[in-house]
Structure 1
């Protein structure tokens, strides 16, 4: 009943924001007496009724569930997600000390092997210590990565690949990137989140190839993937990254500098700190 109460409270909050009565809120989907008990957490609501009520009022479903999702997860899962987000932010801001702090906490977790591998490699890259990663460690990462037969559609494998490009040999990287881009050039990606995951991998791959002088065979394909992303605001940074790396790989450093300087001007100084031209 506690979770029913949380959903009811969120529905009530939305109803108040919209300035609706309970009867206007339900729009004939369910009985008013039932809805009144839902708001008070005395009764639950079916998924069908919940979606219908939210859709009637054009409520952002993703935002609604983001508000209640923490209450349906264990405290450990919430802590892991917060650590992962902190590590991502440290990576985006090139904040080495923050990344090391996150790594220390992540290594204390029970399980979560993939997150640990991703974090270890990220910090090693920050500190220019990639060459200190042992062969044994790299073999473990590769084994974890290839453990899934259909890795190109497995979320954990894609997350691992995005952060662990540096541990693969050039030959392995060429094979895996070719598999990934070939798969998603033929398959229509329904999920915006999955589109972004592949975009992140392409962005990280281009960064790695250029700044670490890796002669990857999939640079043009990665650029093409970013360039073909649609013009939703959500993909804006990836479209800019395409312009930036396209300029770099074509030797137009001044154009790349202009793009970076513009992002700095727009307030993204920390985000592009690692873009050393």
Structure 2
């Protein structure tokens, strides 16, 4: 759907004429040409029209997203969706097939690295991840101080936690919490991405703690901050699994294994297998 088509759809829903829709922002003639696709509209004027009529901005841009999304991004989304589905279903054959397509495709290099880590984890071939590959990820995450707000770099870190040196992970998580604590008006989608980092970190940290017999070179401040972040998410359906995961990991790290097992069992009984089946216990 084009911007013009989306505007026309919203206009019809609101029961307005074109003149009423464009009033005070652009002329009726200009608006008419925009909705018929013979003229572009600036982002400033588009936003002004949308806000003037209290139109849901995320919903509006979702409508037009596919039309204006670059081909490389569209391909990456398609492959990412296919790959994630295969990995979540533990469909190794399909995951390997899609991974081969990802390697050959003209898509973001961070995405290719995430896929390589995921396939190694799925096929239990983590030894195939060599030091050179780890170093390339460390370089990616250190060359940009604001990687936390770079979506592709953030997702790379969330995936790569399991293969990176422990001290590096802890340092980056400390920086992560320092940065987001100073950020205001974090969007819902970024909150979800940050929550994914927290859950992945807690899963990794528990595994590390078991490997060292409960001993760790680092204090527990990152664990505390990760659980706190998840618990403080808005209590909506969208975030409920993250909030519950905070209770689960809080019980796990405090040694209350009975409660942790009960939380996991309750979620599995309710059919939440995709989200929790890989939780530590």
User: Where on the TM-score scale, by shorter chain, does this alignment land: which range?
Assistant: 0.7 to 0.9
Q: Aligned pair 1:47/2:43, yes or no?
A: yes
Q: Please name the residue that 2:4 is paired with.
A: 8
TM-score normalised by L of structure 1: 0.85
Q: Please name the residue that 1:250 is paired with.
A: 254
Q: Please name the residue that 2:263 is paired with.
A: 259
Q: Aligned pair 1:131/2:135, yes or no?
A: no
Aligned length: 273
Q: Aligned pair 1:201/2:205, yes or no?
A: no
Which stretch shifts more, 45-54 or 181-190? Answer: 181-190
Conserved? CA contact 1:26–1:32, under 8 Å: yes
The C-alpha deviation readout for 1:153-192, integer Å capped at 9, x for no partner, is 4333212111101221222222221221222234435333
Give structure 1 stretches of 5+ with no counterpart. Answer: none
By how many angstroms is 1:146 displaced?
A: 1.9
Cα distance, 1:250–1:94 mapped onto 2, change above 3 Å: farther
The C-alpha deviation readout for 1:40-64, integer Å capped at 9, x for no partner, is 2222223233222222332211221
Q: Please name the residue that 1:270 is paired with.
A: 274
Give the structure, 1 or 2, with the largest relative contact order (CA under 8 Å, sep 6 or more).
1
- CA–CA distance in 2 between the matches of 1:57 and 1:130? 53
Q: Please name the residue that 1:141 is paired with.
A: 137
Q: Aligned pair 1:76/2:72, yes or no?
A: yes
Which stretch shifts more, 117-126 or 227-236? Answer: 227-236
- CA–CA distance in 2 between the matches of 1:97 and 1:39? 46
Q: Please name the residue that 2:109 is paired with.
A: 113
Cα distance, 1:47–1:30 mapped onto 2, change above 3 Å: same
The C-alpha deviation readout for 1:244-267, integer Å capped at 9, x for no partner, is 211222233333333334433444
Cα distance, 1:25–1:164 mapped onto 2, change above 3 Å: same
CA RMSD of aligned residues (A): 2.6
Cα distance, 1:226–1:91 mapped onto 2, change above 3 Å: farther
Q: Please name the residue that 2:160 is paired with.
A: 164
Cα distance, 1:46–1:207 mapped onto 2, change above 3 Å: same
By how many angstroms is 1:118 displaced?
A: 0.9
Conserved? CA contact 1:93–1:273, under 8 Å: no
Q: Please name the residue that 1:30 is paired with.
A: 26
